[in-house]
């Protein structure tokens, strides 16, 4: 077992429905801990930069519009096998396919309004945490 870091976002749809606390409760309930948290509204440039890997995808414009539509919460998360554990707690990208007991089943709507983001690998997590947090902000 290894202690690992991952990165998550409570997206604008979940923040708008008052689910920040509910999402964090499920993350902590899975044995993970937060080492950095910020409430912010992404700028166009931040959203485009963060999701640059999806730039060529047909949904990119909608994704950036959605992610800049309201405040979100960015989180650095730590724990045993945190990347995989958090992905299990989130459920699959499409909220409609998410099993009961997952964050996306509880708070998501569809593949776009899917309540949360999570890193897909430890290397990606490193870059995504650094995108939003200085090392001194992680406690
Ligand atoms: P996320 O984990 O934040 O990473 C990329 C996001 O793009 C994903 O969650 C979805 O919200 C969104 N996404 C992925 N595939 C599609 C799709 N086919 N249509 C619309 N949005 C998508």
Q: Is 54 a catalytic residue?
A: no
* Domains in the chain: ranges and CATH: 3-42+72-137 (3.30.70.141)
What phi and psi, each to the nearest 5 degrees, are found at residue 57?
A: -75, 150
Predicted structure pTM score: 0.97
What confidence score (pLDDT) does residue 52 get? Answer: 97
Question: Does residue 1 register a pLDDT over 70?
Answer: no
Q: Is 114 touching ligand 1 by the criterion CB < 6 Å? A: yes
| pLDDT, the chain, mean | 97
Residue 92, by phi and psi: left (phi above 0), alpha (psi -120 to 50) or beta? beta
Q: Is 131 touching ligand 1 by the criterion CB < 6 Å? A: no
pLDDT digits (tens, 9 = 90+) for 27-70: 999 999 999 999 999 999 999 999 999 999 999 999 999 999 99
Question: Does residue 78 register a pLDDT over 80?
Answer: yes
Question: Does residue 88 register a pLDDT over 70?
Answer: yes
């Amino acid at each position: 077992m290894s202690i690992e870091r991952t990165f998550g976002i409570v997206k604008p749809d979940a923040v708008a429905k008052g689910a920040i606390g509910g999402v964090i409760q499920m993350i902590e309930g899975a044995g993970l801990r937060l080492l950095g948290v910020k409430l912010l509204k992404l700028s166009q440039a931040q959203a485009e930069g963060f999701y640059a890997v999806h730039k060529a995808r047909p949904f990119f414009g909608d994704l950036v519009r959605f992610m800049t539509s309201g405040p979100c919460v960015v989180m650095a998360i730590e724990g045993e096998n945190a990347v995989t554990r958090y992905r299990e707690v989130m459920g699959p990208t499409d909220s409609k396919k998410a099993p009961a007991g997952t964050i996306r089943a509880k708070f998501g709507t569809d593949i776009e309004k899917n309540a949360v983001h999570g890193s897909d690998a430890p290397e990606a997590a490193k870059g995504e945490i650094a995108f939003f947090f200085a090392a001194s902000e992680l406690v």
